[in-house]
A and B are shown apart, each in its own frame.
Chain A
Amino acid sequence: DTAVSQTPKYLVTQMGNDKSIKCEQNLGHDTMYWYKQDSKKFLKIMFSYNNKELIINETVPNRFSPKSPDKAHLNLHINSLELGDSAVYFCASGGSPGHYGYTFGSGTRLTVV
């Protein structure tokens, strides 16, 4: 039973399109995150939600909008996709007392053409 699951695993789309990535965790953690891993493998935080409340919003274009319907789900919607959005997007959960480390999903490889 996957702890943090993301869908889809691969996403190929044209510039200007809108797309969503879904994430679900069954670990009971209160906090969830979106990270972006670029072509050089650098991992950078984008957003964090704690129990459905947005608590971290890094300098990310407002074309990216996270949504957390409940504490087990965190989705990422991206409008007007650009070539530079191509990357691997990871969802993670954790960061709570007793579990400061994150559990990452397997990632969504987004390719904008």
Chain B
Amino acid sequence: QQQVKQSPQSLIVQKGGISIINCAYENTAFDYFPWYQQFPGKGPALLIAIRPDVSEKKEGRFTISFNKSAKQFSLHIMDSQPGDSATYFCAASIVGYGNKLVFGAGTILRVKS
């Protein structure tokens, strides 16, 4: 059972454009929603995260939008740059003992210069 569904699988955006990646979850007990960025040959790195008590969180060019009723959250990358080209993963967990992160399938983002 895939608990976190991520789309699209791949995305090509022009430099300066907005990249949008969407995720949907099934388990209403999830209460922590991070996004990770992974470059080839590297481990995933935490980019930004949100708890369900807020609907939006912004850090620099990266914004998470969260819709609790729809059980959806998305990552927006403003002014996308070639250096943003990477694989992006959404994830979800239940905060507490263990805090097991369940990941989406990933989105390969390519920003064309």
A interface residues (Cβ-Cβ under 8 A, vs B): 4, 31, 40-45, 48, 50, 55-56, 90, 92, 94-96, 100-107
- Report the minimal beta-carbon distance from B54 to chain A, rounded to whole angstroms: 15
Residue of A whose beta carbon sits closest to that of B101: A102
Counted as pairs of residues, one from A and one from B, with CB atoms less than 8 Å apart, the total is: 61
B residues less than 8 Å from A90 (CB atoms)? 43-44
B-side interface residues, number (CB < 8 Å): 24
Between A41, A44, A55, A90, the greatest number of chain B beta carbons within 10 A of the residue's beta carbon is seen for A41
Stretch among B20-28, B60-68, B87-95 lining the A interface: B87-95
Separation of A96 and B99 alpha carbons in the complex (Å): 8
Contact B43 A31 (CB under 8 A): no
* B100 x A106 contact (CB < 8 A): no
- CB-based contact A56/B44 at 8 Å: no
Please report which residues of chain B, range 29-84, place their CB below 8 angstroms from some CB of chain A when the two chains form the complex. 32, 34, 36, 38, 41-46, 49
